[in-house]
Structure 1
Amino acid sequence: MDWSVKLFFSSVAIALTFIAFVPYIRSILAGVTKPHVFSWMIWGTTTFIVFFAQLEAKGGLGAWPMGISGGVTIFIAILAIVKHADLSITTIDWLFFLAALASLPFWYFTSDPLWAVIVLTVVDLLGFGPTMRKAYYFPHNENVVFFALFIARNIFALLALETYSAATMLFPLSVSIGCLLLLVMIAFRRRVVCAR
């Protein structure tokens, strides 16, 4: 595919990142959304490492939405701490975070970014755990538009990739599926809670 088309897809993915994050950040500042700090810390860490792995695997323009997203995600984790959002941190949350950091030695010792991406994808999906748990009990505390925009963002990021491989595609594809499952669960729980 032509480089200018890849640049367009990457630009759309980056724009969708900001379109998703700005209202989400506003809703945090307004006290409407209360993100789980460790989910966001895990997601920020994994997204940044995947960004570097995608660059090494020649993902090119398709990697940049991940890098920008990683930076904003870390900002949301910090904002969650400052706003005293959901600060409940369990032992399993620490295990998820340490597993994210453990991906770096995998990458270093194998010299293959795919192993880091596999570990990070698993950790990132497990990072949905605290948010899923919170959303199950408080389904109205999550912004569904945000997660829907991230599905779209990841689709454009996939289209922008300059090289298609497991190392470049696994993470955005898996995160899209994770977001979709979260949205389905939130919709179901909102119906149940409203029916009571």
Structure 2
Amino acid sequence: MTFPQFLVVISALLLFWGGYGYLRDTLAGGTKPNRVSWSLWALAPLVSLGAAFDADADVWASIRVLVGGIVPAVIFFASFINRNSYWRLGRFDWFCGGLSLVALFFWQLADSPLIAVLLATTANTFASVPTFVKAWNYPETE
């Protein structure tokens, strides 16, 4: 195993470790994930993983992206297991989610790597806003 591959493994393990606490608290009903944010945080890396494999990307380079999509997906699905983990979504959440999906759509159409990165960042930002607002107004849900 080369040093860059070792760093990929460490990065993936840190992602799993970081997600474990949130997953545990979600299953216990202590946290209430915003499903719009968590679903989009899962979707974006998985879409980029598909694009990477389509472009014959290195498997080692893609492992980190795969884990970056799996961890939020597991937390998203875990929010359906415990009814106490449900966070009521409002129009603002759906609006931000819609903007994030639009940015993800245009990201896939972008020919320029710079534009693609800007659109991916925009999608992630729009996905993050509902959770940021929820955490600010209701910190006990995080």
TM-score (norm 2): 0.78
Runs of 5+ consecutive residues of structure 2 not aligned to the other structure: none
Q: Do structure 1's residue 47 and structure 2's residue 59 form an aligned pair?
A: no
Task: Name which of 22, 25, 28 aligns with 2:26.
Answer: 28
Mapped partners of 2:89, 2:109: distance in 1: 31
Q: Do structure 1's residue 79 and structure 2's residue 78 form an aligned pair?
A: yes
Superposition pairs of residues 32-111 of structure 1, within 5 angstroms: 32-53=30-51, 56=55, 61-84=60-83, 85-103=85-103, 105-111=105-111
Identity among equivalent positions (%) equals 25
1:130-161 superposed Cα distances (whole Å, 9 cap, x missing partner)? 1111111222332xxxxxxxxxxxxxxxxxxx
Mapped partners of 1:7, 1:54: distance in 2: 17
Structure 1 contact 50–116 (Cα < 8 Å) conserved: no
Q: Mean Cα displacement is larger for which, 80-89 or 105-114?
A: 105-114
**Aligned-pair distance for 1:11?**
0.5
Q: Mean Cα displacement is larger for which, 54-63 or 24-33?
A: 54-63
Mapped partners of 1:50, 1:101: distance in 2: 13
Runs of 5+ consecutive residues of structure 1 not aligned to the other structure: 143-196
Q: 1:137: which partner in 2? A: 137
Structure 1 contact 106–115 (Cα < 8 Å) conserved: no
1:144-195 superposed Cα distances (whole Å, 9 cap, x missing partner)? xxxxxxxxxxxxxxxxxxxxxxxxxxxxxxxxxxxxxxxxxxxxxxxxxxxx
Compared CA separation, residues 6 and 62, structure 1 to 2 (3 A)? same
Task: Name which of 3, 6, 20 aligns with 1:5.
Answer: 3
- Supply the AA of the counterpart residue of 1:92: F
Mapped partners of 1:6, 1:100: distance in 2: 31
Mapped partners of 2:38, 2:125: distance in 1: 12
Q: Mean Cα displacement is larger for which, 32-41 or 71-80?
A: 71-80
**Aligned-pair distance for 1:102?**
3.2
Moved >6 Å (runs of 4+): none
Structure 1 contact 46–100 (Cα < 8 Å) conserved: no
1:37-83 superposed Cα distances (whole Å, 9 cap, x missing partner)? 11101111122223345564957634421211202212211221332
Q: 2:124: which partner in 1? A: 124
TM-score (norm 1): 0.59
Compared CA separation, residues 30 and 69, structure 1 to 2 (3 A)? same
Partner SS for 2:29: coil
Structure 1 contact 41–73 (Cα < 8 Å) conserved: yes
